[in-house]
Amino acid sequence: MIPRVEPGTVGPCPVAADALQGIKRQQTNPARWNGAGWQAFADAVRAAGVELAEGAIACGVYLTDAGGTAYGLPHGVVIARSAAQISVLLKAAQAHRVPLTVRGGGLTTEGESVAFGGVLLDMTGMSRVLAIDAAALTVRTEAGIYWHSLAEELRRENLDYLSAPLNLTSSVGGTLGVGGIDVNSARLGCSADQALSLQVVTPTGDIVECSDDENAELFQRVILGYGQFGIITEATLRLRPYTPLSMHYYYYSSLRTAIEDLQMLDSNDASDYSGILTIMDCAVNLLVAFDSGEREAAFRKNWASRLRGFGEFGFALSMAGHYALRPWKFREALYLLQRKREVFPEFRRTEYMRDGKMHDRSVVFSRAVWKHWGSRNMVIPDLATPADRFIEAVERGNAVCRKYFRHYTLYCVGIRLRPDHGPHYEMSCIPPAAQGWAYGCEFEPMIEGGVYSRDHFQSFKNAIYDIGVDLGASYYRFGGMMKGYIRRVFGDELVDRHLAMKRRADPAMILNRDVIF
Amino acid sequence: MPAFLARMPAAARDYSACSGCSLCLLVCPMWRSRHDPGFSPEGLAKALQCGATAAALAPPLDACSLCGACDAVCPERIDLSGMIMDLRRRLANSPLPDVPRPALPDDLHSRLQQGAPATAPVAPRSAPVLLPGPALRADAALLAQVQALLGIAVFDDDGDDIALAIEVGVVIPPLRLQSFLDSLRGHSIVAADGLLLRQLRRWLAGSQRMGLGAALSTRAAVRSNLGAGDLYVIEPRAFHADYERMVGFYDRLQRETGCSFNLDLQRIAIPAVAPGMAQNPGFAAGDEVQAKWILQGRSPARIVVESLADRAVFGRVCDLPVVHVAELGVDPQMMKEFRHAFG
């Protein structure tokens, strides 16, 4: 039985063994709210004209998140329709002390968007694009919109967002609250950095516009704030002209060498897009891409020859020689062939290629992710570190993957930090010691139809997260910063300061309870 | 050969495989109009996982247009359209008195019982035949143009009663279905109804089938009259029923002619009308929101449609010339040859 835990405190974790000696296991999933006062709350919101759905059929779609290891049902569901409606809901939730869990695309992996009782607010009901300013290169949109739906509207104007997770069903509001990385983040920063201003409904129901110039403290807390200080209902985002990509692929047999080359490219601004995707420990792909012919030509002239990776044909020859001398590893060679046969065509589908350029990268990448890595359990723990600690973090994480799963993939990308966004980054996914760039790595086991227990998945994730504690790192994609880790990463002083702010902003501690506090 | 090296298409799965990825929402017209997950294939699958009955799901079942876009994007390969059609069958055939049922044409059951009148075969076995559906049959001039372009005979029994039964969930009498399929066996089939085409793909596995729009756009006379100023509106049901092949087909058409399509960024066909069951052609007019969305931010010189329903809706929402794809390729000599061939 999961023990009851008071809001703002951390309890013991009833599942998953400790990964590292000396790191005490702590609460990973929230306790279920006991439902006290629910009926009075439901009556109040309905009387105020808010449509509240109850019952298993209405709530069942929200049973779990992309991680698929945390399961819980809310008492009721509200589909977001307006800031005013959300304001009514939050005021009632404060008055009746009913927990409110906000959900966008539901792509969290630790149950952050799963409601363990209380009311769940589905933000995808607010999915309209409100205004596109092609001259100023900005868009005002409701925050429940999926990035992909936003891209569909922007493309009609030949525009694109700056950066967004390579997953079609990430929502704008959810991403701004946790970070978001793209293969252009080494140049354009994390997705949250493209927000210029927000409309936020505070935990007490006030509707507030905020930006770096207006209500700046709220803006700083809401951006990368894990949904603790308000619900983002509208966002103004920076845009750019849409461009297709010229892709280049380099193949390495050493992860360390590939990371060194990635960081070399990033620090020299040598490409518009860069990232690493591993197939096996001995088969690592560095992708490099460009928005313009000029940038591509400059890369060819100045940087291509400095990369130590092979082209596809050269790497195939190298691997053939490698396995010819090691015939007992023929299964490994067959697996490599299989992956090449299955995955490579996904990135070269003719309907997305024109004149050698890839169109709609988010569609291509997201489809490949869902096809080859998606399943009921999207088990993707991650680490974000300063540049100088990244190789160590990746190699240690890779060793954990090897211990838990037969096959796995690593996805590594740089994240350029904005010096003026220091206040945004405080107690966020951006590692505290990072300067200039942070680096993120996702560790993605290939489930391949295998059956693993929840404890196995959770133990694996905890083992990755513990590396982060040990290295002073943070956790990136999908808001994987669980409550049980936050004090160990940031220390009591910083966490207590933010907790005090949270208690002032959210007196009943009802908003996204148990995610980090 | 090891199993993993063989490119075997995986079998379709059922609702229990839904992992809640929400990819189907992105392409679902009923979700787009409501932004309520209950009105989406994922919402239906998840509700079934929670024990919902067909009766409890009647509103979204009615609202679905069976465009098939969800089938094309589901990473779990769930037969979502099949799931919805199965639920409609359960709803239509429920013995419970208070279950909401779709309004049906009065004569549908009798037509299904009687079947098509027996006539002499219009074409020898292996010859291509056309199943035009009621809308095209009603437009004699356009039907003649279609026939002239394709050089194809109209099949007497075009199965429009079966197509309607599939759509609304009415059980098709086995004898009627068997006689329809037997009469088609051995023919190459061009069908105007995308839903019927989808089912024929299953019922007559191995036969050659094609949607009407795709068949017409293979004709040189049509392709030569398509250009960069054209917005070509693909009929979604036929497109999604054979998605992998059709994506490549229309991609080649785009490269050759320069026309644009009603495809989204995922290369899924956006329906011009998003009618639920109650608004389907033959029942009432559909809405215009989808057609306006297709046109948003675009400025074509002409709209080319594969479906007559689409011609009607674009005629209502814009002042652009709207032509059926068959109208692109007609010339007097061809019509003369057609009349000579088919009388």
Whether residues A148 and B267 touch (CB distance < 8 A) is answered with: no
B contacts of A124 (beta carbons < 8 Å)? 25, 35, 37
The predicted structure's pLDDT at residue B268: 97
3-state secondary structure B130-182: EECHHHHHCCHHHHHHHHHHHCCEECCCCCHHHHHHHHHCCCCCHHHHHHHHH
Polymer length of chain B: 343
The predicted structure's pLDDT at residue B115: 67
Q: Between A30 and A77, whose confidence is greater?
A: A77
The predicted structure's pLDDT at residue B28: 95
The answer to whether the CB of A427 falls within 8 A of the CB of A498 is yes
The predicted structure's pLDDT at residue A29: 61
**Confidence label for B3 from pLDDT (cuts 50, 70 and 90):** very low
Q: A interface toward B at CB cutoff 8 Å?
A: 56-61, 63-64, 66, 68, 79, 105-106, 122, 124-127, 144, 146, 148-149, 151-153, 155-157, 168-169, 334, 337-338, 341, 350-352, 360, 363, 367, 370-371, 374-376
Strand partners, A131: A140
Q: Residue A246: what are its φ and ψ, rounded to 5°?
A: -95, 120
Q: Which residue has the tokens 């215009």?
A: B288
Whether residues A63 and B20 touch (CB distance < 8 A) is answered with: yes
The predicted structure's pLDDT at residue A348: 87
Polymer length of chain A: 517
Chain A: give the shortest CA distance to residue B74, in Å. 9
One DSSP character per residue, B203-247 reads HTTTS-EEEHHHHHTTSHHHHTT--TTEEEE--HHHHHHTHHHHH
Instruction: Return the percentage of chain B with pLDDT > 70, whole number.
Output: 84
Q: Between A367 and A94, whose confidence is greater?
A: A94
Q: Identify which of A184, A74, A176 has the alpha carbon closest to the alpha carbon of residue A122.
A: A74
Q: How many CB atoms lie within 10 A of CB B146?
A: 27
Rounded to whole angstroms, the Cα distance separating A231 from B171 reads 49
The predicted structure's pLDDT at residue B4: 35
Two tokens, residue A128: 């309209």
Instruction: Return the percentage of chain A with pLDDT > 90, whole number.
Output: 68
Query: Checking DSSP bridges between strand A231-241 and strand A159-161, what pairing results, if any?
Result: antiparallel
Rounded to whole angstroms, the Cα distance separating A95 from A84 reads 17
Residue A517 has pLDDT above 90, yes or no: no
Whether the CB of B265 is below 8 Å from some CB of chain A: the reply is yes
- Locate CATH 3.30.465.10 in chain A: 129-241
Chain B: give the shortest CA distance to residue A363, in Å. 6
Whether residues B38 and A58 touch (CB distance < 8 A) is answered with: yes
The predicted structure's pLDDT at residue B205: 86
Whether residues A350 and B248 touch (CB distance < 8 A) is answered with: yes
What value does the mean pLDDT of chain B take? 86
Rounded to whole angstroms, the Cα distance separating A385 from B82 reads 47
Whether residues A351 and B267 touch (CB distance < 8 A) is answered with: yes
The predicted structure's pLDDT at residue B5: 35
Two tokens, residue A475: 């956790």
Query: Checking DSSP bridges between strand A353-354 and strand A357-358, what pairing results, if any?
Result: antiparallel
- Which residue in chain A has the smallest CA separation from B266? A363
Chain A: give the shortest CA distance to residue B245, in Å. 11
Least confident of A97-101, A428-432, B37-41: A428-432
Residue B32 has pLDDT above 60, yes or no: yes
CATH architecture assigned to A38-125? 2-Layer Sandwich (3.30)
Chain A: give the shortest CA distance to residue B96, in Å. 20
Whether the CB of B9 is below 8 Å from some CB of chain A: the reply is no
Query: Checking DSSP bridges between strand A357-358 and strand A408-416, what pairing results, if any?
Result: unpaired
Q: Identify which of A454, A484, A514, A473 has the alpha carbon closest to the alpha carbon of residue A67.
A: A454
Two tokens, residue A101: 């869990």
The predicted structure's pLDDT at residue A247: 94
The answer to whether the CB of A224 falls within 8 A of the CB of A429 is yes
Two tokens, residue A397: 């994480």
Residue B286 has pLDDT above 60, yes or no: no
**Cross-chain CB nearest to B264 (options A56, A152, A334):** A152
Q: Which residues make Cβ contacts (< 8 Å) with residue A362, sequence separation at least 6?
A: A147, A148, A151, A164, A166, A167, A168
Q: Across residues A245-256, what is the average pLDDT?
A: 95
The answer to whether the CB of A273 falls within 8 A of the CB of A210 is no
Rounded to whole angstroms, the Cα distance separating A317 from A95 reads 68
Rounded to whole angstroms, the Cα distance separating B139 from B151 reads 18
Chain B: give the shortest CA distance to residue A152, in Å. 7
Residue B26 has pLDDT above 60, yes or no: yes
Q: Between A104 and A378, whose confidence is greater?
A: A104
Whether residues B298 and A156 touch (CB distance < 8 A) is answered with: yes
The predicted structure's pLDDT at residue A379: 86
**Confidence label for B122 from pLDDT (cuts 50, 70 and 90):** low
Sheet holding B153-154, edge to edge: B153-154, B128-131, B188-191, B209-211
Sheet holding A357-358, edge to edge: A353-354, A357-358, A245-252, A283-290, A273-280, A408-416, A437-445, A382-386
- Locate CATH 3.30.43.10 in chain A: 38-125
The predicted structure's pLDDT at residue A481: 56
A155-212 pLDDT per residue, tens: 999 999 999 998 899 999 999 999 888 999 999 999 999 999 999 999 999 999 999 9
B50-109 pLDDT per residue, tens: 999 999 999 999 999 999 999 999 988 899 999 999 999 998 887 776 766 666 777 777
Whether the CB of B53 is below 8 Å from some CB of chain A: the reply is no
Q: Which residues make Cβ contacts (< 8 Å) with residue A450, sequence separation at least 6?
A: none
**Quick check: helix, strand or coil at residue B3?**
helix
**Confidence label for A451 from pLDDT (cuts 50, 70 and 90):** confident
**Cross-chain CB nearest to B20 (options A57, A64, A367):** A64
Q: Across residues A342-349, what is the average pLDDT?
A: 86
A contacts of B266 (beta carbons < 8 Å)? 148, 168, 360, 363, 367
- Locate CATH 3.40.462 in chain A: 245-478
Instruction: Spell A483-514 as b/e; 16+ CB within 10 A means b.
Output: bbbbbbbbeeeebeebbeebeebbebbbbbbb
Instruction: Report the alpha-carbon angle B119-B124-B128, nearest 5.
Output: 105
Q: Identify which of B170, B125, B169, B132 has the alpha carbon closest to the alpha carbon of residue B149.
A: B132
**For chain A, how big is the Rg over CA atoms in Å?**
23
Whether the CB of B47 is below 8 Å from some CB of chain A: the reply is yes
Q: How far is the CA of A373 from the CAs of A343, A448, A500, in angstroms? A: 11, 8, 40
Q: Residue A397: what are its φ and ψ, rounded to 5°?
A: -65, -40
Q: Across residues A302-306, what is the average pLDDT?
A: 97
Q: Across residues A224-243, what is the average pLDDT?
A: 96
Torsion (CA) B311, B317, B320, B326 in degrees, nearest 10: -10
Please report which helix (H) or strand (E) contains residue A368, including its range: helix A361-372
Q: Across residues B296-323, what is the average pLDDT?
A: 94
Q: Between B333 and A384, whose confidence is greater?
A: A384
Whether residues A61 and B52 touch (CB distance < 8 A) is answered with: no
Instruction: Spell B153-174 as b/e; 16+ CB within 10 A means b.
Output: bbbebbbbbbbbbbbbbbebbe
The predicted structure's pLDDT at residue A478: 47
Q: What's the ipTM?
A: 0.89
| A-B Cβ pairs (cutoff 8 Å, strict) | 99
**Is the domain defined by B220-328 classed in CATH 3.40.50?**
yes
**Confidence label for B281 from pLDDT (cuts 50, 70 and 90):** very low
Rounded to whole angstroms, the Cα distance separating A269 from A392 reads 23
Q: How far is CA B291 from the centre of its chain?
A: 17
Q: Which residue has the tokens 């493309």?
A: A155
B33 by Cβ neighbours in 10 Å (0-12 / 13-18 / 19+) ranks as middle
Chain B: give the shortest CA distance to residue A170, in Å. 10
Least confident of A14-28, A251-265, A332-346: A14-28
**Quick check: helix, strand or coil at residue A189?**
coil
The answer to whether the CB of A98 falls within 8 A of the CB of A36 is no
Whether the CB of B5 is below 8 Å from some CB of chain A: the reply is yes
Q: How many CB atoms lie within 10 A of CB B198?
A: 25
What value does the mean pLDDT of chain A take? 90
**Cross-chain CB nearest to B46 (options A60, A79, A153):** A60
The predicted structure's pLDDT at residue A450: 82
- Which residue in chain A has the smallest CA separation from B296? A156
Counting other chains too, the contacts that A215-219 makes at CB distance below 8 Å and 24 or more residues apart are A216/A423, A219/A424
The predicted structure's pLDDT at residue A25: 57
Rounded to whole angstroms, the Cα distance separating A242 from B292 reads 23
Topology of domain A245-478 in CATH is Vanillyl-alcohol Oxidase; Chain A, domain 3 (3.40.462)
CATH of A129-241, picked from 3.30.465.10, 3.40.50.720, 3.50.50.100, 3.40.50.300, is 3.30.465.10
Whether the CB of B298 is below 8 Å from some CB of chain A: the reply is yes
Domain ranges (residues) in chain B? 10-92, 108-210, 220-328
The predicted structure's pLDDT at residue A3: 54
Greatest C-alpha distance within chain A = 76
Q: Across residues A29-35, what is the average pLDDT?
A: 77
Q: How many CB atoms lie within 10 A of CB A386?
A: 22
Least confident of A291-305, A360-374, B115-129, B188-202: B115-129
Chain B: give the shortest CA distance to residue A151, in Å. 8
Residue A19 has pLDDT above 60, yes or no: no
